[in-house]
Amino acid sequence: MPDIDPEERRVRIAELLLRLRRVGITDQRVVSAIEAVPRDVFVEAETRSEAYAERALPIECGQTISAPVIVGMMTMALDPQVEDRILEIGTGSGYQAAVLAKLSSHVYTIDRFRTLVSTAESRFKTLRLDNITTAASDGTEGWPEHAPFDKIVVTAAADAVPQALFDQLRTGGILVAPVGPPSGVQQLKRFVRTEAGVKETILADVRFVPLIPGVAERL
């Protein structure tokens, strides 16, 4: 398993931070969190040399780790605060959860594939990220036992955000999710739950893997 040499990692991370700044991801806390999480730990050995490239990469179970700038954009849109409890739907590689864990008090992350959850868990252990709780379950139902959440991030696309997730967001909370057809271009949206209802803004056109209800039967 070819590990990235520490010097190369430093260079790749520095380049990544420049790209973030260029697209307006300037929130210093977000930039520092991305700087602190080695993205190469979250990809498969075969794609390790491309870990810092500006694109999504394939991971196990036919899923993907999002491109770095997308992770930066979603993280900044969530405006994570140190006391926040954040729910992530779609653990995937665990990278987004790791970045959020650097910025908040606790991250709860769910994936429908048990394999992805257990691989991500061992990465969190390696990096001593002890404020992340995982579950292999159906994210369309959220995680009612730990609700309400200050922030929710959905990293798989659906035509509409499941109502259960809005129900588990505290008033004043922020939810970020790709919304649109599973195999087409989706819009990354930011929702704020207010006393008067949910207010939304569109952030960017994106392509995410689909949000599929239910737990995966295999893996």
Interface residues toward ligand SAH, by CB under 6 A: 63-66, 89-90, 92-93, 95-96, 110-113, 116, 138-140, 155-156, 209, 211-213
Asked whether 199 and 219 are in contact (CB, 8 A), the reply is: no
Residue 104 catalytic? no
Measured CA to CA, the distance from residue 219 to residue 215 in angstroms comes to 10
CA atoms within a 13 Å half-sphere pointing along the CA-CB vector of 110: 26
Q: Which residue has the tokens 């969530």?
A: 78
Q: Pick the closer one to ligand SAH by CB: 7 or 114.
A: 114
Give the Cα separation of 169 and 143 in Å (integer).
11
Return the number of the residue (31 or 101) whose C-beta is nearest ligand SAH: 101
Instruction: State the catalytic residue, choosing from 32, 49, 66, 105.
Output: 66
Smallest distance from ligand SAH to CB 161, Å: 12
For ligand SAH, which is the closer residue by CB, 88 or 150?
88
Residue pair 123/96 in contact (Cβ under 8 Å)? The answer is: no
Q: How far is the CB of 105 from ligand SAH (least distance, A)?
A: 19
96/186 with CB nearer ligand SAH: 96
Packing angle of the helix pair 6-22, 68-78 (nearest 10 deg)? 60
For 136, the token pair is: 């292999």
For residues 125 and 199, which CB has a smaller minimum distance to ligand SAH in the complex? 125
216 CB-side CA count, 13 A = 18
CA distances in angstroms from 211 to 139, 155, 215, listed in the order given? 8, 8, 11
- 138, amino acid identity: D
Residue 74 forms beta bridges with which residues? none
Q: Is the bond preceding 148 in cis, omega lying within 30 degrees of 0?
A: yes
Which sequence positions are flagged as catalytic?
66
